[in-house]
Structure 1
């Protein structure tokens, strides 16, 4: 499977378009959680203007008063076309999709279909904290299969976890984060095929959170889980949310493999009432017409990864940073700094810069922090300066 390389879009770098003063006028979580003297480089919101096709589509909808209930398959059709162009995958069948409010709520609905109360949901720690929160709240048991020291799926650990999770005839699911948050790892076709083989062997159902799929560096190939041999009974959640900064415009798609179509058909009809119609319009426009903007973003993120690596090497050589192949998140190993299990706390209170604490990411998160790279060079530079000051 060969992904289409990033094209030269001619679009300006959206990460350099907004000043810090303008960003501080925003009222979302990133900019309102901490006092004004704190520089926020934490939660997964991007410091960008929206892509023009998205703005135009939403503005047109508002002008028409097109703010009713969602209908149709335009979102799924746009995603299928995007997947074929970007990932060379023509297996996204529109008839095996359903709209859901967002990816995590879609994950919950998919897990309800394939597991029962008290059953195990396997995750690869360290991993996105809501995996623990949402799964726990739905009365399932999170079981960790930690990533290997190389930050990749450890097949031996995964197999042993699967074996334990289905012991006694219990059902289990594997909540796969692909690409992986927070490490930025892009799972290979061989790795995902091995996952599918293990899942089938042990009767574990795979639910793949693929929300970061559009945000993959040039030269790395994102492989949709449902495209690999043996994944026919898998379920996937996708969205334009991360690629185009649309978290506030709720909409996502649940996608079933051929062997999971009957499962998806059992999802309650009212789940489809949760997404925003305007959100669906925005996501559809992003996938259909926002490719040039996305390519400019990806180029800007490539530059930011290099910048962060250089700044850390110069000012904080004790921080280990291995740039990931996907996401706009940097996973920082700060254990050598002597800041304890929660270096983000020290950065916040001593340096007035907000990163995500590594602790909620589960096993492997202690001593780590997550930094959001989807911002300007100036903000990244200032963030590292403040992190350095926290050591004084």
Structure 2
């Protein structure tokens, strides 16, 4: 049953318009507790939405019957398979080539352990999600950057240089690919991904694709699963319903192996399967299986906010440059000519009471930028930009 069938009112079709600031401030998650109540929080990747009704029902019924034990079974993978076939025309989520993991980053860590060892290199496309650096370095692997090129696109020459450096001396290496890309919102094309696969095969680099934002591709772009491109048979992908359905607090994700990587995936230690939350698996499965229409409402709202932000930046934020994202609910703002110094996020927080994510932590290409979360109401987004405009002075 779809969300719309359970709640036919039009408000269910516009999740980003459902909740007031007063309601949101009752939440106790990181987004709403990190800063004082006079701050508008547009930093961490949480959405200002109510949960879809089938998710609420599935979790509530599980708690009511005491179904709160350990996660098991292939229901999550089956739901992801159905979603991938409906939304992307992809049949690559094959049950015997999947395993449920605690979350995407923990899954990435476990997969990287399969294909690299201590001292080996993991290549990333900077600027990129900061935990890519911290998790990889904590594993005693080296990070080598292959910075994005013009238009925040993958630069094959940069990637080839990084791959060559990574495998020097005969060492193993991996490429941790962020697709769609966080923080820039770039959605990689099939041709770009095929070029990544070709280079990876040439240099013997194993690709691990973080596709957590895959359901959040906006009009004008198309998500291409990395494992669907020629040459990606020995790669892995990590997917989850957490970002697209606001389920980060209900931990679960799926690791998917290409046909040539299935034996590697089977080497993941059994104890990894103890990490996913059983309630998380139940929630994610319900979201993927029953809430396409709710997701469409979110995507419509994000597209509206994307266009609104572009207009507001043009009119109200002189000196700040912005390329509207193709996917995710994140906007990447270049503040280097805005007169805000080395840490524009700190300035907007202190003087404007708007919390954004500092770009410096995203690696090369991040300094002087801020990341802004679009997944809120148009009213909150407008108020945030007005506060930022007041910091910059008259337009």
TM-score (norm 1): 0.97
Q: How many residues align?
A: 384
CA-CA distance at 1:384 after TM superposition: 0.5
Task: State the alpha-carbon separation in 1 of the partners of residues 201 and 275 from structure 2.
Answer: 32
Task: State the alpha-carbon separation in 2 of the partners of residues 307 and 219 from structure 1.
Answer: 16
In structure 2, the partner of 1:354 is 355
In structure 2, the partner of 1:201 is 202
In structure 1, the partner of 2:51 is 50
Q: Is the 8 A contact 2:359 2:366 kept in 1?
A: yes
CA-CA distance at 1:366 after TM superposition: 0.8
Write the mapping of 1:193-272 to structure 2, written as runs, cut at 5 A. Answer: 193-272=194-273
CA-CA distance at 1:92 after TM superposition: 1.6
CA-CA distance at 1:219 after TM superposition: 3.1
In structure 1, the partner of 2:309 is 308
Task: State the alpha-carbon separation in 2 of the partners of residues 149 and 339 from structure 1.
Answer: 24
In structure 1, the partner of 2:3 is none
In structure 1, the partner of 2:15 is 14
In structure 2, the partner of 1:3 is none
Task: State the alpha-carbon separation in 1 of the partners of residues 351 and 61 from structure 2.
Answer: 46
In structure 1, the partner of 2:28 is 27
Write the mapping of 1:313-392 to structure 2, written as runs, cut at 5 A. Answer: 313-392=314-393
Task: State the alpha-carbon separation in 1 of the partners of residues 279 and 342 from structure 2.
Answer: 42
Partner SS, residue 371 of structure 2: strand
Q: Is the 8 A contact 2:318 2:338 kept in 1?
A: no
In structure 2, the partner of 1:6 is none
Task: State the alpha-carbon separation in 2 of the partners of residues 85 and 317 from structure 1.
Answer: 42
Task: State the alpha-carbon separation in 2 of the partners of residues 219 and 311 from structure 1.
Answer: 21
Task: State the alpha-carbon separation in 2 of the partners of residues 219 and 141 from structure 1.
Answer: 36
Task: State the alpha-carbon separation in 1 of the partners of residues 274 and 365 from structure 2.
Answer: 38
In structure 2, the partner of 1:113 is 114
Task: State the alpha-carbon separation in 2 of the partners of residues 340 and 226 from structure 1.
Answer: 42
Describe the superposition over 1:296-324 as per-residue Cα deviations: whole angstroms up to 9, x where unpaired. Answer: 00000000011111111111132111111
Describe the superposition over 1:148-198 as per-residue Cα deviations: whole angstroms up to 9, x where unpaired. Answer: 022000000000110011011011000000000011111111111111111
CA-CA distance at 1:239 after TM superposition: 0.1
Write the mapping of 1:59-70 to structure 2, written as runs, cut at 5 A. Answer: 59-70=60-71
Q: Give yes or no for the alignment of 1:274 onto 2:275.
A: yes
CA-CA distance at 1:38 after TM superposition: 1.1
Detail structure 1 runs of 4+ shifted over 6 Å in the superposition: none
Task: State the alpha-carbon separation in 1 of the partners of residues 17 and 151 from structure 2.
Answer: 33
Task: State the alpha-carbon separation in 1 of the partners of residues 358 and 202 from structure 2.
Answer: 36
Task: State the alpha-carbon separation in 2 of the partners of residues 46 and 218 from structure 1.
Answer: 19
CA-CA distance at 1:342 after TM superposition: 1.5
CA-CA distance at 1:44 after TM superposition: 0.1
TM-score (norm 2): 0.96
CA-CA distance at 1:391 after TM superposition: 2.4
Task: State the alpha-carbon separation in 2 of the partners of residues 391 and 314 from structure 1.
Answer: 12
Q: Is the 8 A contact 2:13 2:293 kept in 1?
A: no
Task: State the alpha-carbon separation in 2 of the partners of residues 64 and 45 from structure 1.
Answer: 29
Task: State the alpha-carbon separation in 1 of the partners of residues 286 and 49 from structure 2.
Answer: 17
Task: State the alpha-carbon separation in 1 of the partners of residues 367 and 24 from structure 2.
Answer: 31
Q: Give yes or no for the alignment of 1:83 onto 2:84.
A: yes
**Gaps (5+ residues) in structure 1?**
1-8
Q: Is the 8 A contact 2:317 2:392 kept in 1?
A: no
Task: State the alpha-carbon separation in 1 of the partners of residues 87 and 180 from structure 2.
Answer: 15
Describe the superposition over 1:335-363 as per-residue Cα deviations: whole angstroms up to 9, x where unpaired. Answer: 11011222111001111110000000000
